């Protein structure tokens, strides 16, 4: 994976400018009227309908290359490209499963089970950074087991390095059902899991400190009122087992 340190004040101004936001909003409005398919978990039709690979935006632990390699082919991870998704928010409200909670180790409080999720808003003013990953068909089975309960929905993204290029389409994980097979999957009051969060931040830092700053600015924690992670930092875990 290439290391990027290109995110600058000028880039931030560009994607936040009135003209840029208006252009992205027009694209989002147009694509909302189009019939790009989405896939409900467990995406049973995905293998049959997809081409040799499918573009996915990773926005949490998949940003960490060591974690991503546990599920995806090495070449998929190495070819990953930083990007910016528009029309959605990244938020801590997915509830970590018992199996994952045990795998991450002990020492966390019972309510520290929050994992990242994405909510589509359709607004250009809502955006976050992530990694564009091109999944091969052979990756799908393991990816399905890893991302339990998440649907795959189309999102609009631009290159993180060159945000002036034309926006493209990819798929992103989103959990919209509060329960699945009797298990609670969404909870607004859940606290982020510190070791999972450290894993995500390590992946961002691997790309650049600017990418990590962007991650913190575009991640929301569901406190009594939604707030940016940048304003409510999560203490780093002592150790972070790779998911």
122 part of a folded domain: yes
Q: What is residue 104's predicted lDDT score, i.e. its pLDDT?
A: 80
pLDDT digits (tens, 9 = 90+) for 136-155: 999 999 999 999 999 999 99
d(CA 208, CA 222): 26
Give SS3 for 180: strand
Which one has a higher pLDDT value, 89 or 11?
A: 89
CATH of the domain at 210: 3.10.490.10
1 part of a folded domain: no
Q: What is residue 4's predicted lDDT score, i.e. its pLDDT?
A: 39
The total number of structural domains in the chain stands at 1
pLDDT digits (tens, 9 = 90+) for 17-67: 999 999 999 999 999 988 899 999 999 988 887 678 999 999 999 999 999
d(CA 27, CA 191): 34
Which residue range(s) make up the domain with 109?
Answer: 9-231
Per-residue confidence at 9, pLDDT binned at 50, 70, 90?
low
pLDDT digits (tens, 9 = 90+) for 183-219: 999 998 899 999 999 999 999 999 999 999 999 999 9
4 part of a folded domain: no
96 part of a folded domain: yes
Q: What tokens does 24 get?
A: 């992205």
243 part of a folded domain: no
DSSP letter string, 113-173: -EEEEEEE---TT-EEEEEEEEEEGGGHHHHHHHTTT-EEEEEEEEESS-TTSPPEEEEEE
173 part of a folded domain: yes
Q: What is the pTM of this model?
A: 0.91
User: Looking at the predicted structure, is the pLDDT value of residue 93 above 50?
Assistant: yes
222 part of a folded domain: yes
Please check whether residue 227 is in contact with residue 220, taking contact to mean a CB–CB distance below 8 angstroms.
yes
User: Looking at the predicted structure, is the pLDDT value of residue 224 above 90?
Assistant: no
Give long-range contacts, CB 8 A cutoff, 24+ apart: 13-21: 14/163, 14/164, 15/84, 15/127, 15/158, 15/163, 20/163, 21/124, 21/125
């Amino acid at each position: 994976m290439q290391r990027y340190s290109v995110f600058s004040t000028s880039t931030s101004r560009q994607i936040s400018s009135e003209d840029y936001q208006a252009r992205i909003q027009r694209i989002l409005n147009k694509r909302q009227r189009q019939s790009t398919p989405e896939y409900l978990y467990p995406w049973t039709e995905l293998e049959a309908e997809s081409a040799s690979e499918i573009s996915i935006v990773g926005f949490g632990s998949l940003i960490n290359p060591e974690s991503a390699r546990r599920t995806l082919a090495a070449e998929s991870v190495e070819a990953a490209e930083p990007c910016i998704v528009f029309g959605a928010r990244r938020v801590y409200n997915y509830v970590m499963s018992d199996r994952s909670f045990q795998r991450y180790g002990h020492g966390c409080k019972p309510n520290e089970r929050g994992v990242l999720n994405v909510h589509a808003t359709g607004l250009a003013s809502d955006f976050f950074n992530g990694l564009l990953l091109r999944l091969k068909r052979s990756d799908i089975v393991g990816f399905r087991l890893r991302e339990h309960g998440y649907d795959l929905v189309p999102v609009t993204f631009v290159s993180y390095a060159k945000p002036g290029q034309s926006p493209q389409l990819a798929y992103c994980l989103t959990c919209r059902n509060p329960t699945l097979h009797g298990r609670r999957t969404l909870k607004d009051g859940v606290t982020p899991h510190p070791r999972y969060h450290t894993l995500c931040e390590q992946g961002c830092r691997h790309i650049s400190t600017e990418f990590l700053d962007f991650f913190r600015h575009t991640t929301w924690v569901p406190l009594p009122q939604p707030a940016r992670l940048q304003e409510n930092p999560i203490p780093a875990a002592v150790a972070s087992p790779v998911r």
